[in-house]
Amino acid sequence: MVTPLRKRRVTGELYARDPTIEALIAELAVMPRDALIARAAITKRADPGYIPSECLVYFLRASRHDNNEAGFERLYRILTERVLRSLPRAESVDGETESLTRGVIRDKVFGRFVELLSADRAGYVDKVDYFEVRFDGALASLRRDAQEQAWRDENRSQPLEFDEESGELSPEVEAAAGVYDPFAASDFDDPAYRLRLDAAIEALPTEQSRIIHMLRQGFPIDSKEPDVMTIAKALGRSEKTVRTYRDKAFAALRAAMADGDER
């Protein structure tokens, strides 16, 4: 039995999936998990084996009850890659404001989508129900909200994050970042450490936080393979820029975690 949605319309009616989506979910639910994930990786909508994103959201949400983190991570990565491919890239055109605004919008949409999935993972969020009813429409709604917010931003014409005209890190920041990797720390398995780290990541500037989240999910910064989704492609930034942001973020996280150890 397919789990029903909980969100209600203003008329009081429960949200309902399209009957074809409901039937496909029931069919896919009896498949072995590896087979389901293999089908989920199909990217062409015209392929007979393609699984609509509405179904992927259902199985991603259902995985919270499976205690199968590996399965969740694989589905999560497939779904977020779909979202990134569907968003317009912020190709740089001589630093034009329009290109910068597109990058901000892309970043806000992806960030909001990830936030909703993360919140739903912790406890049912009925706002995610719309993604099971009409995924493309729900994503379009996020884009409209992001556009309005970006266009209201008084500083949208300002360069993001760089403090140095050259784009290079200062020696102090490079020294602070060093070879630090917050996810390779010996006490990463400590729940208290992870809570502090999550809080420190959320306190980072938006684009640095996005990069750290994507690194955590296993996305490469850059790749010679044209079909591989990378952080540089997702954010519309050069490889050098992404690495600079990463190092600034690592330096900030190292300082934040060191401050916590002293308390």
Assess whether pLDDT exceeds 90 at residue 38: yes
Do 159 and 150 form a contact (C-beta atoms < 8 A)? no
The pLDDT assigned to 72 comes to: 85
Burial of 142 (0-12, 13-18, 19+ CB in 10 A): buried
Assess whether pLDDT exceeds 90 at residue 10: no
Taking all residues of the chain, what is their mean pLDDT, rounded to a whole number? 81
pLDDT in tens, 71-113: 888 999 999 999 999 887 765 544 444 556 777 788 889 989 9
The pLDDT assigned to 132 comes to: 97
Dihedral angle at the C-alpha atoms of 13, 17, 19, 23, nearest 10 degrees? -130
What's the whole-number mean pLDDT along residues 215-241? 86
DSSP lists the bridge partners of residue 14 as 8
Assess whether pLDDT exceeds 80 at residue 208: yes
The pLDDT assigned to 167 comes to: 47
Burial of 27 (0-12, 13-18, 19+ CB in 10 A): exposed
pLDDT in tens, 129-177: 999 999 999 999 898 888 777 766 534 334 334 444 444 545 545 554 5
The pLDDT assigned to 152 comes to: 61
The pLDDT assigned to 224 comes to: 86
Cα(67)–Cα(48) distance, rounded to whole angstroms?
30
Could you give the percent of the chain with pLDDT greater than 70? 79
The pLDDT assigned to 96 comes to: 47
Per the model's pLDDT, the better-predicted residue between 182 and 91 turns out to be 182
Assess whether pLDDT exceeds 50 at residue 2: yes
